[in-house]
Amino acid sequence: MNEPLITYELDGNIALIGLNRPDKRNAINDPLIDELRAAVLRAHEEADVAVLFGHGSNFCAGLDLAEALARATGQIKPPRKRRRHNWHEVFDLIARGPIPFVAALHGAVVGGGLELATAAHLRVCDETATFGLPEGQRGIFVGGGGTVRIQRVVGTSVMMDMMLTGRLLTAAEGLQEHVVRYVVPAGEALQKAGELAARVAKNSVETNWMIINVLPRIHDMSHDDGLFVEQLNSARARPPEAEARLREFVDGKARRLQDNQA
């Protein structure tokens, strides 16, 4: 029996989703995307937060170039009708689904791997991580949402530099360019991501949903429309859990914020 391309484990209310093609540096092909879709949808139902990581020495080296070559040479038959890119669909299930995702990054985080990483809401890497967009050197273009997600994270000039020159960013440069928010010693990214996920899971499910779905949409709006949508969401009827949390604070029973620092 073949090993799964995606591993899935539920730890309490946190789903652990692992890319499992270590011998191919977790390169993304169609079967992996199909298994990733199933795992993400399962996490939507079972978990309050998910952690995305890579087995082996790398998070993800991007597109499986052997599959890309087979498609370019007609060895893989194209679909009869044009449809949405399967990477776009699955990465959007991560980025704009019902639960937050934390990405634990190490080793190669390049091309499609970086596109996948930027679909997550929080990103932590260890000191071995390198970030790159080698599409320019491969004669192709980004296709997994990078023009939208990566460009909004690092800015157009940085993304152009990475694509035109093939430059790799170190972990420290990734922190500087906002690719990640946390850098930890080698081998500790998954542990740190788990700690962050546990902290995020303490928030209310409703608030987490608004943070990951309302904020990016307001980012795309005009000033006035953004304020209007903010008001609509902040004025929504609050569930009983919100009332209980507010009462804890008013009564002096809420945990101090500095006790929660990551």
Q: What is the pLDDT of residue 259?
A: 54
Rounded to whole angstroms, how far apart are CA atoms 19 and 194? 16
Q: Out of 46, 67, 115, 248, which one is annotated catalytic?
A: 115
Q: Map tokens 């899971």 to a residue.
A: 201
Average pLDDT, consecutive stretches of 10 residues, N- to C-terminus, the chain (262 residues): 92 98 95 97 98 98 77 68 81 97 98 97 98 88 91 96 96 98 98 98 93 94 95 78 62 62 50
Q: Out of 135, 177, 243, 248, which one is annotated catalytic?
A: 135
Q: What is the pLDDT of residue 72?
A: 64
Q: What is the pLDDT of residue 30?
A: 92
3 is catalytic: no
208 Cβ contact partners less than 8 Å away, ≥ 6 residues apart: 48, 49, 99, 100, 200
135 is catalytic: yes
Parallel/antiparallel/unpaired status of strands 130-132 and 6-11: unpaired
Rounded to whole angstroms, how far apart are CA atoms 262 and 196? 7
Compute the mean pLDDT over every residue in the chain, rounded to the nearest whole number.
Answer: 90
Quick check: 98 and 48 in contact, CB under 8 A?
no
Helix, strand, coil tally for the chain in percent (to 5): 45, 15, 35
Please tell me the pTM assigned to this model: 0.88
33 Cβ contact partners less than 8 Å away, ≥ 6 residues apart: 86, 87, 90
Q: What is the pLDDT of residue 237?
A: 66
